[in-house]
């Protein structure tokens, strides 16, 4: 249970850091007046961390047996697939909820939707890879 908890916390920390990095990059590229939303960005780092903690807690239950029974390459691919597909489905649902009568996949909104989905998939992939790496490190430490 200890390695499951460590992997969960590492994944949520990674989600917070990667989410904060993308937020800062977004501020730097798209807003010319500097970091105008720095405080809300800090709150988003916390929220990304909580979302990462929730997703990692839920996803590590079915993925941990895959990690223990199959080769490391297959388990890494499984972790990355889950880390990309689950946040992508969540973001698709959020796009539909917050559309307010505007098609988020229309040509006018296409690039904003693609960038949001790319950010969410990157956060999920980084979090799942960090959880996989933590489990691998704990497995090697326990076998020595």
Specify the length of the chain in residues: 144
pLDDT of residue 90: 77
Mean of pLDDT values over 116-135? 82
Mean of pLDDT values over 43-59? 70
Is the per-residue pLDDT at 1 higher than 50? no
Q: Under a CB-based contact definition with an 8 Å cutoff, are residues 66 and 78 in contact?
A: yes
pLDDT of residue 75: 85
Q: Supply the pTM of this predicted model.
A: 0.70
Residue with tokens 């698709």: 92
Classify 138 as helix, strand or coil. Answer: helix
Share of the chain above pLDDT 70, in %: 70
Displacement of CA 23 from its chain's centroid (Å): 13
Q: The tokens of 109 are what? A: 């909104």
Residue 131: pLDDT band (50, 70, 90) is: confident
> Tell me: the pLDDT tens digits for 74-122?
888 888 888 888 888 877 777 777 666 777 677 777 777 777 788 888 8
Q: Under a CB-based contact definition with an 8 Å cutoff, are residues 49 and 12 in contact?
A: yes
pLDDT of residue 104: 67
Q: Looking at mean pLDDT, say which of 68-72, 106-110, 138-142 comes out highest.
A: 68-72
């Amino acid at each position: 249970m200890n390695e499951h908890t460590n992997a969960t916390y590492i994944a949520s920390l990674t989600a917070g850091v990667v989410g904060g990095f993308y937020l800062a990059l977004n501020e730097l590229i798209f807003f010319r007046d500097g970091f105008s939303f720095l405080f809300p960005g800090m709150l988003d780092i916390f929220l990304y961390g909580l979302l990462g903690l929730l997703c990692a807690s839920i996803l590590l239950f079915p993925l941990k047996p895959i990690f223990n029974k199959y080769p490391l390459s297959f388990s890494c691919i499984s972790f990355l697939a889950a880390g990309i597909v689950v946040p992508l489905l969540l973001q698709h649902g959020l796009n539909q909820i917050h559309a307010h009568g505007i098609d988020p996949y229309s040509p006018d909104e296409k690039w904003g939707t693609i960038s949001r989905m790319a950010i969410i998939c990157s956060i999920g992939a980084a979090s799942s890879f960090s959880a996989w790496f933590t489990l691998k490190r704990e497995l090697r430490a326990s076998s020595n």
